[in-house]
Structure formats: structure tokens, C-alpha cells
């Protein structure tokens, strides 16, 4: 699974770009994820700049020193979901750009026009013509988007449920600590 591989690479911190950039794999076998690392004493999640292909901001999730198995399960699911989401949108946006360029080229070619005019400016199509492309693209990808939305909701429901469990365990732990320390005062 590309998403699991991307999540592992994200945790490993490999990237081919500058300190605060990211690149996620879409199945090409390359290492992916943000190159930056939070400082050693950081106790928060770190959010990077938008990825060039997916337009999503990658997150480096904080790993607490005494992470419980439940907290680890939650963090790993969040990492895997982020990698899956990055992978989907990188592929989707790449396909969108490619198909859009092909559409523009075919329309211009049908009119006998080149991609650039005499001054070197890019020739564009009207909003109505581009609306035809957008409508067709959405129609062709309708099932893919429906599957994505279904899976996205499943993942987020599971993450929300695990977050509730973690919050409950922490609250109970705090109450136990408070009751044992109340007698010491």
C-alpha cells in the first residue's frame, strides 16, 4: 500500500527538497515526507507548508515519551490517514492538470491555434469552454470521489472515536492522580 509506505517515510523524515518543504510518493517508490524535524524538546505537532502536488499541509505528529498503546494507535492512524490523503490528492491534482492541458491543447488545435500567441503569452480558453472541461472531469471522477469521501468519513470517525477514548483515559488518570494526591496535602 502506497499510503502505508508514505506514512513510514513521513515518520523517517526523508525528502528531496529544502528544510520546510514536502513531497509525497504516489507509488513511485521514492522516499516521501517533510524533511524538517521539530526541535528535540518540542511537545506539539508540527505543520509544514503545502505540498506542491497535493496542496495539503503535511503534519509531523508529536510522539510523547510515555505514549500508551491506545495513543500510539491513534497517532499511527492519523499518520496513515494523512499519507493516504496526500497520496490521493497528489494523484488527483496531477491527473487534473494533465487532462486540463490536454483539453486546452485539443481545443486550440481544433481552431488552428498554438499554445502561445505572437507575443509569447499563453492562449487561454473562455470560462464557458473551461466549464465544459470541469463538468466532464467531475463526471468522469464521480465514483472515485464518492469512494474517497466514504473512506475519508470512515477514517475520521475512527480517529474521532479513538480521540474520545484517549481523552477519557487521560481524564480518568488525572482524577486518580488527584484523588491519591488530595490525601497528601
71, 149 Cβ separation under 8 angstroms: no
What is residue 27's predicted lDDT score, i.e. its pLDDT?
41
The rounded percent of the chain whose pLDDT value lies above 70 is 79
Radius of gyration in angstroms for the set of CA atoms belonging to the chain, rounded to a whole number:
23
For the stretch 2-15, pLDDT in tens is 454 444 444 444 33
145: helix, strand or coil: helix
Number of H helices, E strands in the chain: 4, 2
Q: How much is the pLDDT for 183?
A: 64
Note whether 24 and 32 are within 8 A (CB). Answer: yes
Q: Which helix (H) or strand (E) holds 179?
A: helix 142-182
Spell out the residues 6+ positions from residue 170 whose beta carbon is closer than 8 angstroms to its own: none
- Are 116 and 122 spatial neighbours (Cβ–Cβ below 8 Å)? yes
Strand partners, 47: 59
pLDDT average per 10 residues of sequence, the chain (185 residues): 48 37 40 63 87 92 91 96 96 96 90 81 88 96 97 97 96 90 70
Nearest to 11 by CA among 49, 63, 54: 63
CA pair distance 93, 91, nearest whole angstrom: 6
Average pLDDT, the chain: 82
Amino acid at each position: 500500500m502506497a499510503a502505508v509506505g508514505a506514512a513510514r517515510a513521513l515518520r523517517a523524515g526523508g525528502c528531496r527538497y529544502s528544510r520546510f518543504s514536502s513531497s509525497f510518493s504516489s507509488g513511485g517508490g521514492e522516499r516521501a515526507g517533510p524533511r524538517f524535524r521539530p526541535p528535540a524538546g518540542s511537545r506539539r505537532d508540527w505543520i509544514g507548508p503545502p505540498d506542491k502536488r497535493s496542496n495539503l499541509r503535511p503534519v509531523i505528529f508529536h510522539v510523547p515519551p510515555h505514549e500508551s498503546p491506545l495513543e500510539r494507535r491513534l497517532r499511527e492512524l492519523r499518520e496513515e490517514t494523512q499519507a493516504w490523503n496526500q497520496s490521493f490528492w497528489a494523484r488527483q491534482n496531477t491527473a487534473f492538470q494533465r487532462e486540463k492541458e490536454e483539453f486546452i491543447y485539443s481545443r486550440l488545435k481544433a481552431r488552428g491555434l498554438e499554445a502561445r500567441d505572437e507575443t509569447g503569452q499563453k492562449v487561454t480558453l473562455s470560462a464557458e469552454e473551461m466549464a465544459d472541461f470541469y463538468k466532464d472531469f467531475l463526471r468522469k471522477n464521480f465514483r472515485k470521489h464518492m469512494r474517497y469521501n466514504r473512506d475519508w468519513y470512515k477514517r475520521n470517525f475512527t480517529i474521532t472515536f479513538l480521540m474520545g477514548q484517549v481523552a477519557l483515559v487521560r481524564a480518568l488518570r488525572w482524577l486518580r492522580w488527584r484523588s491519591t494526591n488530595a490525601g497528601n496535602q
